[in-house]
Structure 1
């Protein structure tokens, strides 16, 4: 399946079914991030139940501290 992550098309394997699976693949599940799927911001509690679909547009944004 192909999805678009931060503007780049990427192929994901059959075991990448949910948003949390995707984040684990990139070792981001514990990072301070925000995730948007097809224009909808997802709450962290939704990551494990939100299914990925062909050509989904996923935006992953890192929070950076500082002043």
Structure 2
């Protein structure tokens, strides 16, 4: 699986939400594209990741 251009290997299939928690992402502060499609936050607990997936995770940053 590729995450933000970096190759990683999943030991098993994970739900997207579990993957985010393991990797210390705050689901409320990110947007995710999986294989070219935006994943709605409401689907994070349903999406099962596969080693063939490509994720782009974008964090929201405040500022002024």
| Bin for the TM-score computed over the shorter chain | 0.7 to 0.9
TM-score norm. by structure 1 comes to: 0.84
Gaps of 5+ in 2: none
Structure 1 runs (4+) greater than 3 angstroms displaced? none
Equivalent position to 1:5, from 3, 6, 28: 3
CA distance in 2, matches of 1:30, 1:46: 11
Equivalent residues in 2 for 1:8-47, closer than 5 Å: 8-14=6-12, 16-47=13-44
Contact 2:10/2:50, CA 8 A, preserved across alignment: no
Taking structure 2 as the reference length, the TM-score comes to: 0.87
The CA RMSD over aligned residues, in Å, is 1.4
Alpha-carbon offset, residue 30 of structure 1 = 4.1
Structure 1: unaligned runs, 5 residues or longer = none
Q: Which has the higher helix share?
A: 2
Number of corresponding residues: 64
